Structure 1
């Protein structure tokens, strides 16, 4: 079980940490890369070329501004790509629309703006289809989440 986390700029690092946190919670190995689709496309292609050889099974890609990175990755890999739109301008809506509006046959699963944690969780769900022990952990996580929510909110809340 191994996930690649790729984002285009050092300034995206704080936002993309959420994906790593989710993967760590479930013991899923990951490797993070700063690779711009525009500034170092050759290096990006090199990493993608070797992604399957290095046993990556999913890619989380964060991007802001032009937000081409997830789509470029999806066009060069058959691994599932999860896009994280990053709020760099126009409240992140420009990034969201850029990532979610992929052409037919080149999909990118897309999570909410700046929500890399959910990208990590989606990667875990994808991997849980193949790994029974991860599926068991995910089911337990969901059960505990529900129980905690009910416990904390069962008696109502004070406003």
Structure 2
């Protein structure tokens, strides 16, 4: 890694400095991006941008495809090497973020997921760290299903 700025690697955001010091892990992509948007709103006192300026070199363009919702809902994951209960913390039409209470999951791994009473739906692990897993669904949730989950089952 060289240069100054940020880089996404293995689902985590890393801070880089121009002097070549060791990169600093800032945390999971979703959490750091959300915190950056709040910070920008406070500094600029304007709405946060929907994307961050294009990257240079290996850096990654961070752009949200759809709105993500902070929720707390129980779910169940089935993977080839494990299965168990999870707590889903973030949900969108395209995917979710959850706290695993099961064995090791790895990026690219296919899973089956039940969100509360909804599902099962299939997806793929996009990233994982010590405390969270990010999943992209194979097929997006219908907007009405997303609304139904948020309004009727979140927080139970």
Per the TM superposition, whether the score is higher than 0.5 is no
Greater fraction of residues in strand? 2
Return the structure number with greater helix share: 1
TM-score, normalising length: structure 2: 0.25
